[in-house]
Amino acid sequence: MLQKLWRTSPELIATAALMQIFLVGALVGLAVDPTIIAGALAWLKPAKFAVSITIYTVTLAWMFTLLPEWRRTRRVIGWATALTMVLEIVIISTQACRGTTSHFNIATTTDAVLFQMMGGAIVAQTLSTIAVAVALWRHNFDDKSLGWALRLGMIITIVGALTGGLMARPTRAQLEAARDGQRLTVAGAHTVGGPDGGPGLAGTGWSTRHGDLRVPHFVGLHALQALSIVALILVRLRLAAATRERLVILAAASYAALYVTLLVQALRGIPLVAIA
């Protein structure tokens, strides 16, 4: 399978391998660097992003093995994704080395440029994956249940990725400060109803006091993996093809409902888990 993935999308598999180097570096940083950034250890974010990027690039490469006739789409999206993800992890790690935040940071010209570069690249890459969604809808899958899992999963993943744009909007407090003539150093936030950096869940940092847009963002991003796993499990259970199709569509509808629920909850300022 690894050889097949490499033959199909060497750029994505190389990116996944590179992420392991960044992950090891981030784990070393977690062990030796006590610096706290926005309420979390400085190297926690690079570690989380290295894992997330690995999962996404390997999943995309696997999905491309199922689209043999879409060579140009695979090549363009594969390289766009690889370059974007490498740029993102480099910027996040660089900012961790500097002891500052990577997201929403406009404190200096350098910080603002890095944030804008990262944000612009991610938006462009996310929009480019619409071409993959089109390919999935046009491709005739032998296993129709897997086809539905990939199509619906990719749509939810794209929507979940675009949720990140909600975080980049200046908060009410930031807008009021700007109107008062204060110089902004931060534009945007993960949390809703309170500042970033407060108490959060271990490992994720998701706020336990306020709404946190990272929750629906995370759930939406991983719809592709979740629904693909559901489809593959149903195949192993040897259920009838029509039954598998119905169950996958039901799972996709349930997953979409979960994403919407978490998004509304976050926008209302309600934490996923409230801890006083």
In this prediction, residue 196 carries a pLDDT of: 83
Helix (H, G, I), strand (E, B) or coil at 40: strand
* Contact status, residue 17 vs residue 69, Cβ threshold 8 Å: no
Mean pLDDT lowest for which of 48-57, 110-119, 167-176? 167-176
Task: For residue range 125-137, list pLDDT tens digits in order.
Answer: 999 999 999 999 9
Nearest C-alpha neighbor of 220 from the set 167, 175, 269: 167
> How many domains, in total, are found in the chain?
1
Here the tokens at position 30 are 């977690």
pLDDT band at 271 (very low <50, low <70, confident <90, very high): very high
- Is 183 within the bounds of a domain? yes
Pairing of the two strands 36-37 and 40-41 = antiparallel
Helix (H, G, I), strand (E, B) or coil at 250: helix
Helix, strand, coil tally for the chain in percent (to 5): 70, 5, 30
Number of Cβ within a 10 Å radius of residue 66: 17
Mean pLDDT lowest for which of 36-40, 93-97, 119-123? 36-40
- Is 93 within the bounds of a domain? no
- Is 59 within the bounds of a domain? no
Task: For residue range 173-225, list pLDDT tens digits in order.
Answer: 888 888 888 888 888 889 998 888 888 888 888 999 999 999 999 999 999 99
Nearest C-alpha neighbor of 156 from the set 226, 230, 247, 53: 226
In this prediction, residue 137 carries a pLDDT of: 94
- Is 249 within the bounds of a domain? yes
The per-residue DSSP string of 142-166 comes to SSHHHHHHHHHHHHHHHHHHHTHHH
Nearest C-alpha neighbor of 212 from the set 265, 136, 147: 265
pLDDT band at 276 (very low <50, low <70, confident <90, very high): low
Please give the mean pLDDT across all residues of the chain: 93
In this prediction, residue 259 carries a pLDDT of: 97
- Is 174 within the bounds of a domain? yes
* Contact status, residue 150 vs residue 142, Cβ threshold 8 Å: no
- Is 185 within the bounds of a domain? yes
Task: For residue range 233-256, list pLDDT tens digits in order.
Answer: 999 998 999 999 999 999 999 999
Task: For residue range 81-99, list pLDDT tens digits in order.
Answer: 999 999 999 999 999 999 9
- Count the alpha carbons within 13 Å of 93 in the hemisphere toward its beta carbon: 21
- Is 105 within the bounds of a domain? no
In this prediction, residue 210 carries a pLDDT of: 92
Domain that holds residue 185: 140-276
- Is 10 within the bounds of a domain? no
* Contact status, residue 87 vs residue 121, Cβ threshold 8 Å: yes
| Distances in whole angstroms, Cα of residue 51 to Cα of each of 54, 68, 160, 252 | 5, 27, 18, 24
Q: Say which residue the tokens 């869940």 belong to.
A: 201
